[in-house]
Amino acid sequence: MKKLFLFLASVLLSFIGVAQQPAASCGAKNSNDQCCQKEQHDGFTTLSVDPFSKAIRQNDVVLVDVRTAKEFAAGHLKGARNVEWVKAFEENVKAAALPKDKTIAVYCQRGRRSLAATQVLVKMGYKVLNLDGGIDAWQKAGKPVVK
């Protein structure tokens, strides 16, 4: 019994160690030699603030804020469209008529809602970028917001 417990504990610790490692697939490194620029997922890419900032300046990118209308009104990224993350998100996307021939760059407050929205957008056939850390990370990096 003790051997089984030790085996299970070692397996669990090895999984925790792997989960805490930075994504190795991003290919870009910072001055500390850590991967921090982007993380590839099935059908979408999560970008840190600077690469996201560069990406949204492209003509073929539509910027989407999935926060509530109240959060959006309090401050958002310039040029963003508000498509709220709610139970009827797919219907909101259809109503917003987001173009499928363009990349959709998504963000929220901290990154959780945008990650969920990103997964739905991919299932709907969109190419998607997600802002890691949301508008909080954006503002912490000193990037501007508009009201």
Is residue 29 a part of any domain in this protein?
Answer: no
Is residue 2 a part of any domain in this protein?
Answer: no
* Whether residue 72 has pLDDT greater than 90: yes
**pTM of the full structure:** 0.74
Is residue 114 a part of any domain in this protein?
Answer: yes
- Active site annotation includes 35: no
Question: Active site residue: 26, 35, 36, 108, which one?
Answer: 108
pLDDT at 123: 96
Is residue 4 a part of any domain in this protein?
Answer: no
Is residue 19 a part of any domain in this protein?
Answer: no
Tens of pLDDT along 44-60? 999 999 999 999 999 99
**Which residue segment(s) compose the domain that 131 sits in?**
37-140
* Whether residue 8 has pLDDT greater than 70: no
Is residue 79 a part of any domain in this protein?
Answer: yes
Domain count for the chain, please give it. Answer: 1
* Whether residue 13 has pLDDT greater than 80: no
CATH number for the domain that contains residue 55: 3.40.250.10
**How many helices and strands (H and E) does the chain possess?**
6, 6
Is residue 52 a part of any domain in this protein?
Answer: yes
